[in-house]
Amino acid sequence: MATKNVTKSATPKAAKKKYDAPAATRLGYTPDHAASGLDHNFPSIECWPNQFPGYEIEIDIPEFTSVCPKTGLPDFGTIWIRYAPNKHCLELKSLKEYINEYRNLGIFQENVVNRILQDVVKATKPVWCEVRGEFHPRGGLGTLVEARWPKKK
């Protein structure tokens, strides 16, 4: 009777991913593709003290680029950041440097929008914030991704 070699994972349970994902989809997408770019060390986004309460700021980034982590093909789009500042406003030069880090980074479009939201909220601690990414069609499909903080109830 043949025996199978069983190797137990050295990874502790606490370090495992939050969800069970298949090893790969039919098209070859893996959990590594899904997480690609999320652990990138982006430059910090600087802020300056807000002087007025009760208004909104919208920033558009019409020449956004990143790279698909699976195909290596470029993704082009427009990113909008809209927020109501609390005590701090985004400093635009540092935001530009932050956004330029995405240029050659392999990261899914959905993750781009959510990561930008996470980093803007961390930097500014706004009253509310939303980030929208409208990505140009590739293969006949365009994508619009929106993320908000705080999350709608």
Domain ranges of the chain: 25-149
Query: For 45-79, how does the pLDDT look when each residue is reduced to its tens digit (9 = 90+)?
Result: 999 999 999 999 999 999 999 999 999 999 999 99
Residue 44 backbone class (left: φ over 0; alpha: ψ -120 to 50; beta: rest) = beta
Determine the Cα–Cα distance for residues 97 and 132; give it in Å rounded to an integer: 19
Q: What is the pLDDT of residue 20?
A: 61
pLDDT at 15: 40
Q: What pTM does this model have? A: 0.83
- Mean residue pLDDT of the chain comes to 88
- pLDDT at residue 41, as a whole number: 96
pLDDT digits (tens, 9 = 90+) for 17-45: 455 656 888 888 889 999 999 999 999 99
Q: What is the domain class of 25-149 according to CATH?
A: alpha beta
Q: What pLDDT score was predicted for residue 19?
A: 53
First to last CA, the chain: 58
Neighbours of 34 (CB within 10 A): 16
What's the gap between Cα 22 and its chain centre?
Answer: 22
Q: Tell me which residues are annotated as active site.
A: 68, 75
